[in-house]
Chains A and B, each alone.
Chain A
Amino acid sequence: MWDLLLAPFMVRAVIAAAVTGLAAPGMGTYLVQRRLSLMGDGIGHICVTGVALGLLTGTSPTYTAIVVAVIGAILIELIRTSGRATGDLALALLFYGGIAGGLVLVQLAGNGAFALQGYLFGSITTISYDDVVVSVLLAGVVVIAALALMPQLFAVSYDEDFARASGVPVWFYNTLVSVLAAVTVSVAMRTVGLLLVSALMIIPVATSQQFTRSFRTTMLAAMLGGLLASLAGVVVSAFLNLPPGATIVLVALAGFVATSPVGMVLQARRRARVPFAPESLPVHEESEERHRHEHGPGCGHLAIEHGDHVDYVHDGHRHAVHVTGEGQHYDEH
């Protein structure tokens, strides 16, 4: 047994898995807070083009993947800030463009899609000494940034408007999180593969936040969970001859499933302790505008069904008829 664990390829695999398991949930915590849990997947798609460029030009796919992922991350932030309505769609276009472009480039490189397999699903047991060194350095940068810049990154992820009103360079920190997420994806590419990268960033956070009350503890516990899942996954996969990337993710998922009953009990108990503070009723907002007519079918204002009644769009906002004993008026809805 020790022969296998101490074999050089296995030592390299364990080191690579450990640093990936630590770094991925660090950035994942900020992504979950920013409601960008799927961003890792998107960057993974873009990375396919990066890997293909590496194969095409004969440079290390790890380096080209990092460069393309970082450019992609900056593009994502630019699209997000340029306008929210179209941002979601633009992101989708970028992601699919990334994966399709990668497949075409790989074909041009004469390798066929098969060459991508090690990057899509991970190939931790064939990882080279140089790749391990790069992984350790980059994962170190990610972990240090995630912990040392927590005051700034937490403020920006928790309440962007407040951070901006405090004079914090919000765009810089948002882009930093995206760029570090891109670096994490490029590092984890060799461990769990591009298709499962996001799982290692998000699942440990989902597991740890069932039990935690603070942001810092959530992140630290998620990093510990990611580390344990990665180590256990690599070792289990070696002995049972399973694919390492998928095994790591399954171990992480098993951790979540095993702990969720305890988490549910804890959360139910916590909710029960919340005091029943008397909340004031939602504001009943009466329209102050005078109406030259009564809203109704055919009044010319757009009618929209709203629960049990119909609202009429009036000058950019919604009016609902409120009939009372003394007559009727319009409420703002």
Chain B
Amino acid sequence: MTDPSGSPVLALDRVGVVLGGRPIVRDVSLEVGAGQVVAILGANGSGKSTLVKSLVGLNPVSQGSVSLFGTPLPHFRHWERVGYVPQRSTVGTGVPATVREVVGSGRVARRTPFRPMSRAGRDAVTAALDLVGMAERAGHAVSTLSGGQQQRVLVARTLAGEPDLLLLDEPNAGVDHASQEAIAATLGGRADAGASVVVVLHELGPFGPLIDRVVALREGRVTYDGPPDQLVDGGGEGHHHDDHEPAWVARLHHPLERGH
């Protein structure tokens, strides 16, 4: 469950995030160990993306503290150990770029300015392309790919940096099922190799089998933290045509009321 140094890979202690004067994340405490795969679930506006961005320094942590590999976030310098996969939004715009160029930019944390990419770096880029099944398209312009393929490229970019902790923000949004499965299989492989994975999801989908633990957020607070099986069975993410909470959300508030 821990890094060789004895610390959890990721530790949040009563974390709060305030954006534009509004509290978005409140009082979230969480520990993630080596090799663990954690899904952060919640509706839009529940603060799940905001929380993940705070973990990589894109949003300020207003209250509480975050530690990465045992080091408090403000003092953390080994960013090559952390791989962030942002939401696919700006990919493929502007000047053309090939799949290999974009995936290669995932090595940027490990590179020295004015030095060419090392042999190990080129191998890591090739391996990452293979893992997501995009090796054949390495020379294609990213803008000519489908949404799902672009998302796979973003995952490969992060994998090329060989991180020990992967943080993914909604990798399934607007992505075809085949690509969702390819991404899920890739992440499963990384977790088996000892990497920790934190993935923000709208629903578990093809990720279900590899998730060890689900953390559900609602209005910025943790409403459920435990194994996924208590969540997925029953109604799941059904679409309820009434003005009340879907059944699974209600269960999140009272997970112990199910006869445990």
Q: Provide the residues of chain A in CB contact with B78, threshold 8 Å.
A: 167
Bound form: Cα–Cα A290–B219 in Å = 13
- A230-274 vs B: 1/0 string, CB under 8 Å? 000000000000000000000000000000000000000011011
Q: Which among A32, A154, A212, A270 is the interface contact of B144 at CB below 8 angstroms?
A: A270
Q: A29 on the interface (CB 8 Å rule)?
A: yes
Q: Are B114 and A149 in contact (CB under 8 A)?
A: yes
Q: Are B43 and A288 in contact (CB under 8 A)?
A: yes
Give the number of chain B interface residues (Cβ < 8 Å): 63
Q: Which among B90, B177, B218 is the interface contact of A159 at CB below 8 angstroms?
A: B90
Q: A317 on the interface (CB 8 Å rule)?
A: yes
Q: B161 on the interface (CB 8 Å rule)?
A: yes
Q: Are B146 and A152 in contact (CB under 8 A)?
A: no
Q: Are B147 and A165 in contact (CB under 8 A)?
A: no
Q: Are B94 and A164 in contact (CB under 8 A)?
A: no
Q: A109 on the interface (CB 8 Å rule)?
A: no
Q: Are B95 and A33 in contact (CB under 8 A)?
A: yes
Q: Are B96 and A218 in contact (CB under 8 A)?
A: yes
Q: Are B239 and A154 in contact (CB under 8 A)?
A: no
With both chains docked as a complex, state the minimum distance between the C-beta of B63 and any C-beta of chain A, in angstroms. 20
Q: A116 on the interface (CB 8 Å rule)?
A: no
Q: B244 on the interface (CB 8 Å rule)?
A: yes
Give the number of chain A interface residues (Cβ < 8 Å): 60
Q: Are B95 and A29 in contact (CB under 8 A)?
A: yes
Q: Are A213 and B139 in contact (CB under 8 A)?
A: yes
Q: Which among A158, A159, A279 is the interface contact of B147 at CB below 8 angstroms?
A: A279
Q: Are A149 and B146 in contact (CB under 8 A)?
A: no
Contact of A164 with B243 at beta-carbon distance under 8 Å, contacts A158-B105, A277-B147, A288-B43 already known: no
Q: Which among A161, A279, A328 is the interface contact of B86 at CB below 8 angstroms?
A: A161
Q: Provide the residues of chain B in CB contact with A157, threshold 8 Å.
A: 94
Bound form: Cα–Cα A134–B98 in Å = 36
Q: Provide the residues of chain A in CB contact with B177, threshold 8 Å.
A: 278, 280
Residues of chain A in range 288-333 having any CB-CB distance to chain B below 8 Å: 288, 290-291, 316-317, 324-330, 332
Name the segment of B29-37, B168-176, B189-197, B207-215 touching the other chain: B168-176
Q: Provide the residues of chain A in CB contact with B176, threshold 8 Å.
A: 277-280
Q: B185 on the interface (CB 8 Å rule)?
A: no
Q: A162 on the interface (CB 8 Å rule)?
A: yes
Closest to A32 in B: B95
Bound form: Cα–Cα A213–B174 in Å = 24
Contact of A165 with B114 at beta-carbon distance under 8 Å, contacts A152-B108, A283-B173, A329-B241 already known: no
Q: Provide the residues of chain B in CB contact with A327, threshold 8 Å.
A: 241-243
Q: Are B113 and A154 in contact (CB under 8 A)?
A: no
Q: Are A162 and B141 in contact (CB under 8 A)?
A: no
Q: Are B140 and A213 in contact (CB under 8 A)?
A: yes
Q: Are B22 and A326 in contact (CB under 8 A)?
A: no
Q: B258 on the interface (CB 8 Å rule)?
A: no
- B121-150 vs A: 1/0 string, CB under 8 Å? 000000000000000000111001111110
Q: Are B242 and A329 in contact (CB under 8 A)?
A: yes
Bound form: Cα–Cα A227–B44 in Å = 50
Q: Which among B91, B97, B114, B149 is the interface contact of A148 at CB below 8 angstroms?
A: B114
With both chains docked as a complex, state the minimum distance between the C-beta of B221 and any C-beta of chain A, in angstroms. 13
Q: Are B94 and A35 in contact (CB under 8 A)?
A: yes
Q: Provide the residues of chain A in CB contact with B102, threshold 8 Å.
A: 158
Q: Are A215 and B96 in contact (CB under 8 A)?
A: yes
Q: Provide the residues of chain A in CB contact with B108, threshold 8 Å.
A: 151-152, 155, 163, 166, 168
With both chains docked as a complex, state the minimum distance between the C-beta of A202 and any C-beta of chain B, in angstroms. 11
Closest to B84 in A: A165
Q: A285 on the interface (CB 8 Å rule)?
A: yes
With both chains docked as a complex, state the minimum distance between the C-beta of B205 and any C-beta of chain A, in angstroms. 10
A-B contact pairs, 17 of them (CB 8 A): A34-B94, A158-B97, A162-B105, A165-B56, A166-B79, A205-B95, A209-B95, A214-B97, A274-B144, A274-B145, A277-B146, A277-B178, A278-B177, A288-B249, A290-B243, A290-B245, A291-B243
Residues of chain A at the chain B interface (Cβ within 8 Å) = 29, 32-35, 148-149, 151-152, 154-155, 157-159, 161-168, 205, 209, 212-216, 218-219, 270-271, 273-280, 282-288, 290-291, 316-317, 324-330, 332
Minimum-distance CB pairs A-B, first 8: A167-B79, A277-B146, A165-B84, A165-B56, A166-B109, A155-B108, A213-B141, A155-B105
Residues of chain B at the chain A interface (Cβ within 8 Å) = 22, 43-45, 53, 56-58, 77-80, 82, 84, 86, 90-91, 94-98, 101-102, 104-109, 111, 113-114, 117, 139-141, 144-149, 157, 161, 173-179, 202, 218, 239-246, 249
Known pairs A151-B117, A158-B94. 17 more at Cβ < 8 A?
Answer: A151-B108, A151-B113, A155-B105, A161-B58, A161-B86, A163-B108, A165-B82, A165-B86, A167-B77, A205-B95, A213-B139, A215-B101, A218-B96, A282-B174, A288-B249, A290-B245, A332-B43
